[in-house]
Amino acid sequence: MERIYNFSAGPAVLPREVLEQARDELVNWQGCGMSVMEMSHRGKEFMGIAAQAEADLRELMAIPANYKVLFLQGGASAQFAMVPMNLLRGKAGADYLNTGEWSKKAIKEAKKYCAVNVVATSEDKNFSYAPTQDKWALKPDAAYVHYTPNETIGGVEIFWTPQTGDVPLVADMSSTILSRPVDVSKFGLIYAGAQKNIGPAGLTIVIVREDLIGQTVAGTPTMMDYKIHAEAESMYNTPPTYGIYIAGLVFKWLKHNGGLGAMESHNIAKANVLYGYLDTTLFYHCPTAKENRSRMNIPFTLKDAALDEAFLKGAKERGLVQLKGHRSVGGMRASIYNAMPIEGVKILVDYMKAFEQKNG
């Protein structure tokens, strides 16, 4: 079978060109006689790969010089603990916005370390929107303000940057990083698991303003201390070398395709294809508030849930896979990260129309 269209929320589709280059270099990387997987992380070949990946990410996101870029492990979930451990800096509490399942997990973990003030929640409407900042009850003495700019499960995205004054802003960008430009200087810390828009699972990226690190809570394990990783340039222990290599190829692919501005236009065009159709039909329903419609994860339900199985089966027969919604919300979800071509979205919509005609 040729490549299918993979709408998985993560691990997710990667650019075909990246996979092909990785294949070509798998056994013998650039004539050095070994695979990237076999290289010492302290050897000059791998040090070069890691340095280039960091330089390309810095260029793509225009990361200011006073920010550290860390290549870590443990997923975004480990960051739910590392953020409070490192950023409380002697303060008693932190502010969290609650817009869905990932916010809730971050809050739950932070409660182990500090008093969490939930500044606002959209639980009243089943997490189908994000409260605007005029509804947030921020605390001026909070150590930081944490939010989830794209809730991967609910498909709720926040396109504006919260204004938090001197209180550092922390964002779990796992499912929106690299999908559009962001002004990194507005953030104290950005983190993302790689498996949505960056590369293979196992790599986690942290971008942190350097003055915020080095004041961990007592008992913080060495491996959870940003400062340790920053000083060792992410080589304190063995980093996820192959993941860093693939991420580096993805960064090159993004640069080659016009960078994050071009990616944003491409992602808007793709999302418009699917939302545009959803707006014309009563057979399918998208629960998300219009101003928070995620460009990366698009949930929708069928008018009659009894048709879900038939919908998924027919989709699979056409090479459209991983459309089943998250178990907590049901229905369908199409994740259309950077590497999903617009053709994939068009073929999905054609299929949805045909299915409606047959069953509507």
Ligand X SMILES: *Cc1c(COP(=O)(O)O)cnc(C)c1O
How far apart are alpha carbons 255 and 259 in whole angstroms?
5
* In the complex, least distance from residue 169 CB atom to ligand X, rounded to whole angstroms: 16
* In the complex, least distance from residue 175 CB atom to ligand X, rounded to whole angstroms: 4
**Is residue 304 annotated as a catalytic residue, yes or no?**
no
**Is residue 346 annotated as a catalytic residue, yes or no?**
no
Residue in 102, 225, 227, 270 annotated catalytic: 102
* In the complex, least distance from residue 77 CB atom to ligand X, rounded to whole angstroms: 3
- Comparing CB distances to ligand X, the nearer of 12 and 142 is 12
Cβ–Cβ under 8 Å, residues 216 and 57? no
- Choose which of 56, 109, 157, 172 interacts with ligand X (CB under 6 A): 172
- Choose which of 53, 61, 76, 177 interacts with ligand X (CB under 6 A): 76
> At a CB cut-off of 8 Å and minimum separation 6, what does 144 contact?
83, 87, 94, 95, 167, 168, 169, 170, 188, 189
User: Torsion angle, CA of 175/179/184/188, rounded to 10 degrees?
Assistant: -10
- Residue 157 within binding range of ligand X, rule CB under 6 A: no
Residue in 68, 104, 196, 270 annotated catalytic: 196
Residue in 56, 95, 172, 225 annotated catalytic: 172
SS3 137: coil
* In the complex, least distance from residue 204 CB atom to ligand X, rounded to whole angstroms: 6
Contact pattern from residue 101 through residue 140 relative to ligand X, giving x for each residue in contact according to CB under 6 A and a dash for the rest: -x--------------------------------------
Sign of CA dihedral 60, 214, 225, 241: positive
- Choose which of 10, 84, 155, 162 interacts with ligand X (CB under 6 A): 10
Q: Which stretch binds ligand X (CB under 6 A): 27-35, 71-79, 115-123, 217-225?
A: 71-79
How far apart are alpha carbons 250 and 160 in whole angstroms?
26
- Choose which of 86, 99, 128, 174 interacts with ligand X (CB under 6 A): 174
Pairing assessment for the beta strands 67-72 and 297-302 based on DSSP bridges? unpaired
For residue 285, what is the enclosing H or E element? strand 284-285
Q: b/e map of 93-103 (b: 16 or more CB within 10 Å)? A: bbbbbbbbbbb
Cβ–Cβ under 8 Å, residues 172 and 148? yes
**Is residue 172 annotated as a catalytic residue, yes or no?**
yes
Q: What positions carry a catalytic annotation?
A: 102, 172, 196
Binding site for ligand X (CB under 6 A): 10, 75-77, 102, 148, 152, 172, 174-175, 193, 196
